[in-house]
Every structure is written in C-alpha cells, then in structure tokens.
Structure 1
Amino acid sequence: MKRSELFIAFSLVPLDALAIFAAFVLAYFTRIQSDVVAIWDFSQYIQFILLLIPFWILLFATQGIYKIASLKRGALDDLQNIFFASSSGIMLVVVYIFLSKTDFFSRLIVLYAWVYVCVILMIIRIVTRIIRRQLLKYGVGVYRVIVVGDGVHASAIINAMNTYPQLGYKVVKVIDRDGLAKIETILSNVLTDEIVLADSHITDKDISHLLEVTHGIPLTLKVVPNTYRLREANVVVDTVADIPLLSYSKTQLDGWGAIIKRIIDIIGSLCAIIILSPISALIALIIACTDRGPVIYKNERVGHEGNFITYKFRSMYIEYCTGKGYGGEKALDIEKKLIKEKNIKSGSAVYKIANDPRITPIGNFIRKTSLDELPQFYNVLIGTMSLVGPRPHQPREVENYTPQQRKLLIVKPGLTGMAQISGRSNLTFDDEARLDILYIENWSLWMDVKIILRTFFVIFKGKGAY
C-alpha cells in the first residue's frame, strides 16, 4: 500500500467532517432566509451538528467510503457511494428527530442538508481525484508492475495499465512463463510492487514458487483466476480492464489497519514512556552505579524497511557487549564461544545463551522481567518498531532465515508478539517463526489487544526469559 494513498484516504475523514458541518450550516441559513422562525437558536443547532458528525463518519466508514480501493473507482462509483452514504446519514437524523420527539424547526432543513452534503462531498472527491492524478503523473504512488504472460489477458491488462494512468500502475517489465525461472534476478534489478500472472499456463507450483521467493519482499502477487487456490495467503478479488484478478496478500495489516495500528503505537508508546519514566530512571541509575559505560545498549537489527538500531538497557558488562563502540572483536569471539557451548537453539537461524556469564546482577533481573526492553518504546514512537509484531533479529541471524521465515520481514517488528506469549525463549526458532507468521497472515486489532494483555501475565510469571 502506497503512503500517498494512505495519506489521501486518511485526509478524507477530516475533510468529510468539515463538509458535513458546512452543509448543515448552509442548510440552516438557507431555510432561515425563508422567514421560518427557528425553535433552536444557532448555538444549539451547532451543538447538534457536532454531536452528529462522528456518527456520520462512522456510518461512512462502515459503507466503505474510506477504503483505499475506493480511490481507484470511477466518478460514477463515487457519486453512487456518496448518494447512498449521505442518504443513510440523513435517515439517521430523521430517526433521531422522530425518536427524541424534539421541537426541531422546519423539516425542510434536513432536505437542504442532504443536497449540500452530496454536492460538497462530490466536490471533495473530484479535487482528491485531480490531486491523485497529478501525483501519479510525477510517479508518486505509482505501482510498478511486472506482467507475466503473452496472451489475450496479458495484452488487455498491459493496455489498460498504459491507457488509464489514474489506475496508478506502471508496467516495468513483461515476461513470459519461462521467465519465472529468472524472477529472483529480475526482482533484484527491477523495483517492483506487484507481479501480475496473466498466463493461462501458470500452475499452482509456479504460484507457490513465487510466494516462496518473495516472502521477504513487500510486493503483491495477482493472478488472473482460473483454478488457482492457495491456503497460505489471503486472497482478495481485484479487476483491471474488467478482467478479475486474485490478489494474494501476505498480510491483512495494510490500509486503514496500518494507520490505526500506528496511531495506537504512538499513543501507547508515549503513555508508556511517561508512566514508566520513574522505573526507567531507577534502572538507569543502578546500571550507571554498578558498571562503567553507557546505560543504553544500541544494537543493529533487521526490520521491514532494512536495518535499524534498537535501544535496550545494558544488561551485560561493557567489555562483553558486541557491536560498534563496545567490546569489539574480543567480545564477539567470546560470544561465538558461548554460542558453541551454551546455545539452547542450536541448528536454527538465531541463538539464545542460557545462564549467560556476561550478564550483570541487575541485568539478570531486568532481562527476566523484560524491563531491559523499556527503551524500545522509543523505537515504537519513532516508527521503527510496533507494540506488537515479530521480534527483530540481528543481520547475521537474518542471513540464515529460510525463504518461508523471510516473511517475518514484511511487517514492523514488535516489542511483544505471538511467540513471546507462547513460550518466549523456550520455543525453537522454527516454532517462534511459525507463530509470528500466523500472526502476520491473520492480523487484526483485536489480536493485538489480546497479545498485549497476555504479555503482562507472561512477564509476571517470568517463564522462558533469559
């Protein structure tokens, strides 16, 4: 999902709220100009509008007005959606007036408001459409597409994408089915957002292979439907040139879900930083008094947008910390030796050292209680991590991921996640990856809430922490 699309869709909410407000104000003065005596004064009427607006916006949202896909619809589709959504909103007002038995002034004001709402909302959609087209003209928000196929369907899709720039597609490469054998090389050389399979000879095996080699790449696979069905991906129906496409989405964490999750991350991390600041200050003081060196340990990890720095309270003696500015090669050699001797996850992509002798006394406590991770709320605040998601790993660990495990990299890493509440360090990495991939494929806000609540119980029990 392109950020420009998310921004436009998100902007429509406050714009629609202003449109509803303006429409009802215009309706009020239009009717009052007709020498009708108002029972409500203007201030009372404004209060009514402000109370009404959130319900209208919620009603619009339930009818799909703010879906990202609506940005690609035609003007007639926009008009139809606005008509029905506005009519539903007006019915809400009528029901309120009827049930509350309020002494409302002329009922004709409701009709005026309905007309004004439809007109203003349509103007907003037209302006939005113009802005989006201009952005697409300059390459902002354009989906770069590789089309696979050389038949009728492929030609129709390529023609539609080239003819109608408002669809937001740019065909960057066309290959036949045999070209799929070189798809990894092609993807490394050509920036791609979507692959469209428009060849009737594409097999389930071809699709499975594509899903496997693109697990760690944030792109969407779309298929002209025939008999293709895969259980391992979320399937959404899309159309281009009236040809149905099956869109194999790697996660449901997209669009409005991603926006809402980000808002929750910002609010949650800010609250946590403020509320937990006394505990953080105390931990920092103890670390500073018990060992020389910095209080915060910075470590490079891999996320959905590449490498980034995570922040943790330092739990090891400074000379044993690996990474730039710490113990250097000597610390790394010691760690490699400990991995050979005490790794409880041998044979997997990641390591975990039990009874690690490098850890300080306070380090043992903050690790067991997960208090060492409090600085990562800052990572959440700046957007490199989320409250919930798969745990981030070091670059040298990610190099050993299987193609399936690279799917862990398509969403933001998290402070806690499915694996953390299901056994923490007691799990094998294969089980940890399987649980986190299950989260990625079946994400919902309610799932995030349940994981956060269960995290508190896991931390309280202190099981599986090293």
Structure 2
Amino acid sequence: MIDQLERGLQNDVKKILATTYLRHRERRMYRVISRVLDVIISLIAIVVFFPVMVIVASIVFFSNGNPVIFKQDRLGRYGRKFQIMKFRTMRTDAEIILQEDEDLYQLYVNNDYKLPPDQDPRLVKFGAFLRRSSLDELPQLFSVLKGDMSIVGPRPIVPVELERYEGHEQDFLSVKPGITGLWQVTGRSEIEYPQRKYLDLLYIENQSVFSDLKILFKTIYVVIRKSGAH
C-alpha cells in the first residue's frame, strides 16, 4: 500500500507509522488503551479549551446568528452514521446553495468534497479564519467523549465519499474516524484522492499507541503553523 503513495508522502509516513501489523489480541488491547486515552484527552481538552469555545460560539452567534453549531451526517465505525459537530462557518442554506448550483457542486466533488475558500460562496464572516485555525473543529471533542469518534483516526467522510474507497470499504469502516490523523499531519486538505485513501488505509493497517501519540503531537505543530487547512 505504501508504494501507492507519492515519494514525498512515503517518507513522511515511514517516520510516523510503526509498520508492524497488530495481531488480534494486540489490536483488541490497542482499542482498549485508545479508548481510555480518548476519554482522558478529550476531557482535559474540553476543560482547557472551554473558554475558547465560549468565545468562538459568541463570535459566530453575534456575527452570523443561530445555529452556532453545524451538524452533518458522517460515517462512523461499521458504517453507522453520526452527526459531526463543528462551529458553523457557512450560511444556513449552504447545502441548498451547493445542490442548486451544478457547476459549484461539480467543483465540490472534483475537489474531493470541499471547496477552496476563495471560491466558496457559503462561507460566512470569520468562517475562513475558523477553518484555517481549526477552531471550528473543537466541538468534535464531545463526539470523542461520546464514542462516535477518536482523537486519532481516518478522516470522517460523508456517506457519498465511501465510493472513493472502492474495494476497501469494510477496512475503512472497521475503525472510528478521528479529529486528526495521518492525513492531517502529511498535508491536511492539500492531499487529494486516491492519495488520501491510501493514507487512511495505511493508518488502519499499522495502528499503534506510539504512532497515535506521534500524530497527535505533530498535529499540534501543524495547526500552529496553520498548514493548508481549508
């Protein structure tokens, strides 16, 4: 699988992943440890960032009104749908705008189910900043605490995106999606399919607590640098 990646990505991945496949018993233990870490880290992060969340929620409310939180169906472990939560960075009629403009929707699909900020008419005031700084993703900590997501995992995708993982759907759906992951620390939004698919599958094949911690700490560095977030 790693041979499918571009050469630059191969080097980045090798520095992060422990390329040893976990046996069934080890994988079960990994999931227990991972869940414990998810609960501890998400609780600490919610407490630490709660004042920031209050400030961001206030900015969204006073500049753009309700709702403050944007919710959207994403695929979780075993294909179960859950509602991902983010601070709202788009207009309330964002989905209608996307569906009614064929050219815009085609750009959205061709650009791996996202729009470049400078071509996205759905963005509200401060929306681009919240995305670039990743502050819009703070509510996802509650999804981690609930158990729908993990701190580290594959990227949470919308149901229609699953077709991009043709032949590997069950592998992709065998784990919880993460707030951050291998895709986040090797390029973030700049990586497109099928490279994004290979990164997700490589992570799933080579999960380990050590790799997760490396990804987590590297995420902090990447976010501070504001590297490529859309």
Same fold by TM (over 0.5)?
Answer: yes
1:461 equivalent in alignment to 2:215: no
1:276 equivalent in alignment to 2:49: yes
Cα distance in 2 for partners of 1:336, 1:432 equals 25
Cα distance in 1 for partners of 2:164, 2:191 equals 18
Q: Which residue of 2 aligns with 1:369?
A: 133
Pairwise CA distance, 1:423: 0.5
Structure 2 residue matching 1:411: 3-state secondary structure: coil
Q: 2:61 aligns with which of 284, 288, 303?
A: 288
Structure 1 residue matching 2:122: 3-state secondary structure: coil
Pairwise CA distance, 1:254: 2.5
How do 1:369-448 and structure 2 match up within 5 A?
369-404=133-168, 406-448=170-212
Q: Which residue of 2 aligns with 1:264?
A: 37
Q: Which residue of 2 aligns with 1:70?
A: none
In 1, are the aligned partners of 2:74 and 2:157 still within 8 Å (CA)? yes
Count of equivalent residues: 209
Q: Which residue of 1 aligns with 2:9?
A: none
Stretches of structure 2 that go unaligned for 5 or more consecutive residues are 1-18
Cα distance in 2 for partners of 1:366, 1:406 equals 33
Q: Highest Rg: 1 or 2? A: 1
Q: Which residue of 1 aligns with 2:113?
A: 351
Cα distance in 2 for partners of 1:388, 1:266 equals 12
Structure 2 residue matching 1:310: 3-state secondary structure: strand
Pairwise CA distance, 1:253: 7.0
- Structure 1 stretches of 4+ with a deviation exceeding 6 A read none
Per the alignment, do residues 335 and 280 of structure 1 end up closer, same or farther by CA in structure 2, a change over 3 Å counting? farther
Greater Cα offset, 278-287 or 424-433:
424-433
Q: Which residue of 2 aligns with 1:6?
A: none
Q: TM-score w.r.t. structure 1 length?
A: 0.42
Cα distance in 2 for partners of 1:407, 1:253 equals 17
Pairwise CA distance, 1:406: 4.5
How do 1:50-199 and structure 2 match up within 5 A?
none
In 2, are the aligned partners of 1:339 and 1:353 still within 8 Å (CA)? no
Per the alignment, do residues 253 and 397 of structure 1 end up closer, same or farther by CA in structure 2, a change over 3 Å counting? farther
Q: Which residue of 2 aligns with 1:313?
A: 87
Q: Which residue of 2 aligns with 1:331?
A: 97
In 2, are the aligned partners of 1:297 and 1:311 still within 8 Å (CA)? yes
Structure 1 residue matching 2:207: 3-state secondary structure: coil
In 2, are the aligned partners of 1:288 and 1:295 still within 8 Å (CA)? yes
In 1, are the aligned partners of 2:20 and 2:206 still within 8 Å (CA)? no
Per the alignment, do residues 440 and 335 of structure 1 end up closer, same or farther by CA in structure 2, a change over 3 Å counting? farther
Q: Which residue type is aligned with residue 103 of structure 2?
A: K
Give the superposed CA RMSD: 2.2
Q: Which residue type is aligned with residue 128 of structure 2?
A: N
Q: Which residue of 2 aligns with 1:224?
A: none
Pairwise CA distance, 1:339: 3.0
Structure 2 residue matching 1:254: 3-state secondary structure: helix
Structure 2 residue matching 1:309: 3-state secondary structure: strand
Per the alignment, do residues 452 and 415 of structure 1 end up closer, same or farther by CA in structure 2, a change over 3 Å counting? same
In 2, are the aligned partners of 1:302 and 1:393 still within 8 Å (CA)? yes
Structure 2 residue matching 1:361: 3-state secondary structure: coil
Deviations 1:394-428 (A, max 9, x none): 11222443112542211010000001110111111
Structure 1 residue matching 2:194: 3-state secondary structure: helix
In 1, are the aligned partners of 2:154 and 2:178 still within 8 Å (CA)? yes
Pairwise CA distance, 1:377: 0.2
Q: Which residue of 2 aligns with 1:304?
A: 77
Q: Which residue type is aligned with residue 42 of structure 2?
A: S
Q: Which residue type is aligned with residue 279 of structure 1?
A: V
Q: Which residue of 1 aligns with 2:11?
A: none
In 2, are the aligned partners of 1:315 and 1:359 still within 8 Å (CA)? yes
Cα distance in 1 for partners of 2:181, 2:70 equals 22
In 1, are the aligned partners of 2:89 and 2:123 still within 8 Å (CA)? yes
Cα distance in 2 for partners of 1:449, 1:235 equals 17
Q: Which residue type is aligned with residue 82 of structure 2?
A: F
**% same residue:** 38
Which protein has greater RCO, CA pairs closer than 8 Å, 6+ apart?
2
Deviations 1:270-319 (A, max 9, x none): 11111000100000001100113210011100011311111110000212
Q: TM-score w.r.t. structure 2 length?
A: 0.83
Q: Which residue of 2 aligns with 1:35?
A: none
Pairwise CA distance, 1:268: 0.4
